[in-house]
Amino acid sequence: MTLLGHFTYWATVFLMMTGLHVVISRGNLVKKLVGLGIFQTSVYLLYIGPGKLVGGTAPIVGPGIATYSNPLPHVLILTAIVVGVATLAVGLALVVRIREAYGTIEEDELLAADAEDD
Amino acid sequence: MLAQHLPVLVAVVPLVAAPLIVVARSGFLGWVTALLVAAATTAMSAALLAQATASGTISYAIGSWPPPWGIEYRVDAANALVALLVSAVALVVVPYARRSVSAEVGQDRQYLFYALLMLCLAGLLGMALTGDAFNLFVFLEISSLSTYVLIALGRHRRALLAAYQYLVLGTTGATFYVIGVGLLYLATGTLNFADMAVRLADVRDARPLAAGLAFITAGIGLKLALFPLHAWLPNAYACAPSAVSAFVAATATKVSIYVLMRVYFSVFGVDAVFRDLPTGAILAVLSVAAMFAASAAAIVQPDLKRLLAFSSVGQVGYITLGISLGSAPGLAAAMAHVVNHGITKGALFLLAGAMALRLGGTGMDRVAGLARTMPVTAFAFVVGGLSLIGVPGTAGFASKWALVSAAIEAGRWWIAGAVLLSSLLAVAYVWRFVECAYFREPPAGAPDRDEAPADMTGPALALTAAVVAAGLFASPVLEASTRAAAALMGFAR
């Protein structure tokens, strides 16, 4: 029961670790950004999951509505999604510029090119 | 009428200025706007600091939604001081930027530079003044995203890579912060710092709180370049345009340090952070490691800006060391070093930018013989270097002295010893500059005597003068820091 009851937490932790692992282990700059996106998405789940009540309705004022889900996490995460999209956009723009300047987006080749510059 | 809206105007004015500059599409208009905005935020921050010092905490409810439901801007002697530091540095950097940016950034992109600088300023001021944990995250990302792009404007292609690396690490840090805030929100049901401080006392299960504190420490530690989470910093500072290096080095890490102070001393409280958890010991070890390892790394850097960047990591160590003492004098010393190191490093990066303009770079081989080609700049740089070491009569001495006194007062003699020993490493890296500038011949074909133009040298020398003034008349900064520490520790309603 607890194992299933904590389902959203398991999903959150799995996504979190997956994302962070991709960021650390991949040398391709685009793949790193994909990992970063997964990592950020896991946090959306961390906020949204606990906001839902069993049997709760949407947070609307109306007759017969007594139990409703917490609306605040949704609002927070809408903001966080916007921030995440902006980060991804800036990150991808940088990758495009890096590719133009270096001709590659593999981390080890970039570092080798930098070492040659010295 | 307008005065009561000051807490939010400080952040809103630069935020509104940024899109206006983009619409105007003119580098000159952008510069004028940035100058006016920097002057306005400095005046407003100074007014807020005076008001908070005189009559205590100012609470501002955005949109008149009362806290803790609405977002609260909460100004006290601590964050008003940080806001004043940030805006005053902006006021020095913007006049300097006109010529520096013309030389380093393409003509068609200059207006974007000023727009991004305003966004960064808005983000940092918002982080400082907000009393809401999630609002702080949003402003953190506003300042971070604009900083990434500002760094990418650097001349060398390496700036792009530095900006990318900072983006990945900075976003990871910010996400860690949100995870920590999320855990605290789950435990307390509030995002308002003051409300959270009250409700944390009623939380029975301490484990989520400890996890939240750990996530926030790691996340903000990345943003403030706490050793060993500083990997992004040297390249970012070294590759950014000169004006950006000066502004970011003097302000961005400092605001993150303030956030850590706020979470530790205001939200959790000294007992929860330093008595129940080993935070103090961990922070002290990392700080001492930074003081020695980063300062030692600074000695061998082939480039003056990289040397300054590594020195920043070391100097942040002194600040976090003050925090790790978990005492009011330690916190006051840390706050004093935030201000004093902020102006010192700002001045040094401005001077390095002046060298870059005339010499085409800041490599150690290029600054050889600088005392002959740019004697004023070289001398001012040595003065700033003395402040990094902590020589009496400079700003760095005042706050290091306060730090050593606080460590002795707390009975930690080894910390006092470590501060003194690590200062010897600072002597070594400052001496490297002195040796290059004063005892070597200028490279062949170097100009005879050629200072940078007055609109760059002027702001740099003004900030250097402030470093000396803060050393000779140390009490205003020290008293403001003591008041800031008291405000941080006596926070809850």
What is the average per-residue pLDDT within B76-96? 94
Residue B416 pLDDT greater than 50, yes or no: yes
Pair of tokens at residue B155:
């001349």
Altogether, the residues listed in chain A come to a count of: 118
DSSP annotation string for B406-444: HHHHTT-HHHHHHHHHHHHHHHHHHHHHHHHHHHSPPPT
Strands (E), B99-236: none
Chain A residues near residue B163 by CB distance under 8 angstroms: 94
pLDDT tens-digit readout, B425-439: 999 999 999 998 988
pLDDT tens-digit readout, B359-375: 888 888 888 888 888 88
Give chain A's domain count.
Answer: 1
Pair of tokens at residue B95:
């006049």
Domain that holds residue A109: 2-117
Residue B220 pLDDT greater than 80, yes or no: yes
Burial-class residue B77 by CB neighbours within 10 Å (0-12, 13-18, 19+). Answer: buried
Taking residue A111's Cβ as centre, other Cβ atoms within 10 Å add up to: 12
Is B138 within 8 Å of A114 when comparing Cβ atoms?
Answer: no
Size of interface A-B (CB pairs under 8 A): 68
Domain boundaries, chain B: 278-493
Q: How far apart are CA B396 and CA B161, in angstroms?
A: 33
Q: How far apart are CA B61 and CA B4, in angstroms?
A: 11
- pTM value is 0.94
Q: How far apart are CA B359 and CA B288, in angstroms?
A: 36
Q: What b-and-e string marks burial along B311-340, b requiring 16 or more CB atoms within 10 Å of the CB?
A: bbbbbbbbbbbbbbbbbbbbbbbbbbbbbb
Which residues of A lie inside 8 Å of B (Cβ-Cβ)? 16, 20, 23, 29, 32-33, 36, 39-40, 43, 46-47, 50, 76, 79-80, 83, 86-87, 90-91, 94-95, 97-98, 101-102, 110, 114, 117
Give pLDDT, residue B446.
65
Of all residues in chain A, what percent carry a pLDDT higher than 90?
52
Residue B493: pLDDT band (50, 70, 90) is: very low
What is the average per-residue pLDDT within B106-129? 92
Q: Which residues contact B43 (CB under 8 A, 6 or more apart)?
A: none
Q: What is the CATH number of the domain that holds A68?
A: 1.10.287.3510
What is the average per-residue pLDDT within B387-403? 92
How many CA within 13 A on the CB side of residue B7? 24
Is B164 within 8 Å of A94 when comparing Cβ atoms?
Answer: yes
Measuring CA to CA, how many Å separate B352 from each of A43, A66, B347, B460? 41, 64, 9, 9
Give pLDDT, residue B1.
64
DSSP-derived 3-state class of residue A14: helix
Taking residue B377's Cβ as centre, other Cβ atoms within 10 Å add up to: 27
